[in-house]
Amino acid sequence: MASQSSIEWTDMTWNPVTGCTKISPGCKNCYAHRMARRLHAMGQPRYRNNFDVTLHPDLLEQPLRWSQPRKIFVNSMSDLFHPEIPLDFIQAAFDVMGRAYWHTFQILTKRSDRLAEVAERLSWHDNIWMGVSVENRDYTYRIDHLRSVPAAIRFLSVEPLLGPIPRLPLQGIDWVIVGGESGPGCRKIEPEWVRNIRDRCLANGVPFFFKQWGGTRKKLSGRELDGRTWDAMPESVENKTKSIAR
């Protein structure tokens, strides 16, 4: 199960697992939960279990069939490091990512403790980017877990940004995405929270990507911050190597 993505920082989504459980404030208005309920009501067989964690082994090798290089968001409808996902299934997904070397895989988790626990038992290839979600200052500990992981690119998704993070830790971080919450019941984001993170990224040479202001009508609120869009992306490991060689 995959689809072209409207998420600004990726091209495709790949969901060998669906379903999740809420563990922190950023999960309160989870878009994936809303979408899964809708698809379940429509009788979509992949969502026969609604939002319960469900493995789809037949989809594991799907990226190998896509010949055009793409940025692929892994498990947009779940969390690959959810405790109900067996380690051997995670290992199988990492094996596929390594074999599909022409793609770039972007993994995002809130279960940073499990990520750190199993990282040494996974095959980390240069085309695998690993990120953690940090919605407010109470969850910056996830960044410490991320730093222990031997990923080629480590990134932060500060979305939905639910409060100020005055000194967002950036050591060992290659990319930062920030965004406001959208959809029903969305919580407010303050421009100064965003500017603080942007300025900190600029001062530390970390690419900064502002995804959205959010709101109930996010297209109207747009993506501009201080008169422009912020779309910086990290260099791939291959491009870094070429730059050094020059």
3-class DSSP state of 197:
helix
Q: Quick check: 10 pLDDT over 90?
A: yes
In the prediction, which pLDDT does 160 show?
98
Q: Is the Cβ–Cβ distance between 134 and 158 less than 8 Å?
A: yes
- Write down the pTM of the prediction: 0.94
Assign 244 a pLDDT band (cuts: 50, 70, 90). Answer: very low
Cβ of 226: how many Cβ atoms within 10 Å? 10
Q: Quick check: 60 pLDDT over 50?
A: yes
Assign 243 a pLDDT band (cuts: 50, 70, 90). Answer: very low
3-class DSSP state of 223:
coil
In the prediction, which pLDDT does 219 show?
84
- Over residues 130-187, the pLDDT tens digits come to 999 999 999 999 999 999 999 999 999 999 999 999 999 999 999 999 999 999 999 9
CA-based R_g, the chain, Å = 17
Q: Quick check: 246 pLDDT over 50?
A: no
Mean of per-residue pLDDT scores for the chain: 94
**Region 102-108 average pLDDT:** 98
The helix, strand and coil proportions of the chain, stated in percent and rounded to the nearest 5, come to 35, 20, 45
- The DSSP element (H or E) to which 244 belongs, if any, is helix 237-245
Token pair for 39: 């698809």
Q: Which domain holds residue 137?
A: 2-245
**Region 97-118 average pLDDT:** 98
Q: b/e map of 138-159 (b: 16 or more CB within 10 Å)? A: ebbebbebbeebebbbbbbbbb
DSSP output for 27-93: GTT-HHHHHHHHHHHTT-GGGTTTTS-EE-GGGTTGGGG--S--EEEETTTB-TT-TTS-HHHHHHH
Pick from 101, 113, 59, 111: nearest CA to 80 = 111
CATH of the domain at 8: 3.20.20
In the prediction, which pLDDT does 245 show?
39
Question: What count of residues does the chain have?
Answer: 246
Ranking 195-204, 211-220, 222-231 by mean pLDDT, the lowest is 211-220
Q: Quick check: 224 pLDDT over 70?
A: yes
Q: Quick check: 3 pLDDT over 80?
A: no
Domain count within the chain: 1
